[in-house]
Amino acid sequence: MSLCSVLLKLIRRRRTINLQYSIENIQSLRDSESNPILFLCHKMNEINHHVKKNALEKVINIIEKMTDLLSGRLQAVIIFLLMAKLLIEVLTRYVLQSPLSIAEEMGGYFLVSITFIGLAYTWKEKGHVRVTLLISRLPEKAVRPIRFITLLLATAFTLPLIKACYDLLTDSLLFESRSGSWLRTPLVYPQSIMLIGAVLLFLQLMVEIIKALIAMKKPGENH
């Protein structure tokens, strides 16, 4: 072996040792927080990640609170009002022999509100009809991607629903449509309930998609 080849091997070995030392030294400086620049960059990344996570959690909390209030509690009050209206209708029709002329129309509006605005809360509480014959037999790792796909499909379905409700609302505004009863209620009011319910469902589905993405990144947890 020539002297030149020996010197080249020594130089390469020294460079490798120096490079490994530099990487280990930088890591130790970061761990010991003795390097202010590296420590500052590391902390800035942590703060940025923490801020994004907190902002996402705040958005999720706002949407879910809105779902609980408008799609849950408010609809519970409307159900109670619907029951009270039916009771009054029975009493006035069969006892006083003078039925209320607005009972049928108002009951229809209450049902529209319960049905459409209640969609988001029902989804949040997993109250919609689901077929779990196959899902229940699959491992959790396989269930999460399937759930994510179904959420995407459901969200895609809400988009034409929102558009249809909006088109119906704009037509009623354009032609000033009213109900056929003596109240002559502008139909834009009950139809706006349908649009609000579709939008609430879309927002709740977006929250569920975010949760599904987080769940897929944490394979060790059960959701």
Q: How far is the C-alpha of 4 from the C-alpha of 10, rounded, in Å?
A: 10
Q: How far is the C-alpha of 170 from the C-alpha of 47, rounded, in Å?
A: 46
Whole-number average pLDDT of the chain: 80
Which pLDDT score, from 0 to 100, does residue 72 have? 94
Q: How far is the C-alpha of 103 from the C-alpha of 185, rounded, in Å?
A: 13
Residues 6+ apart with CB under 8 A from 165: 191, 194, 195, 198
Q: Any bridge partners for residue 186, and if so which?
A: 178
What would the mean pLDDT of 80-97 be, rounded to a whole number? 88
pLDDT tens sequence across 152-167: 999 999 999 999 999 9
Q: How far is the C-alpha of 77 from the C-alpha of 187, rounded, in Å?
A: 22
DSSP 219: T
Residues 6+ apart with CB under 8 A from 138: 146
- Examine the pLDDT at 64 and tell me if it is beyond 60: yes
Structure tokens at 31: 């761990």
pLDDT tens sequence across 24-47: 444 554 454 555 555 556 556 666
- 8 A C-beta contact, residue 105 and residue 181: yes
pLDDT tens sequence across 170-183: 999 999 899 888 88
Confidence (pTM): 0.74
Which pLDDT score, from 0 to 100, does residue 152 have? 95
Max intra-chain CA distance, the chain: 120
- DSSP for 130-158, please give it: ---TTGGGS-HHHHHHHHHHHHHHHHHHH
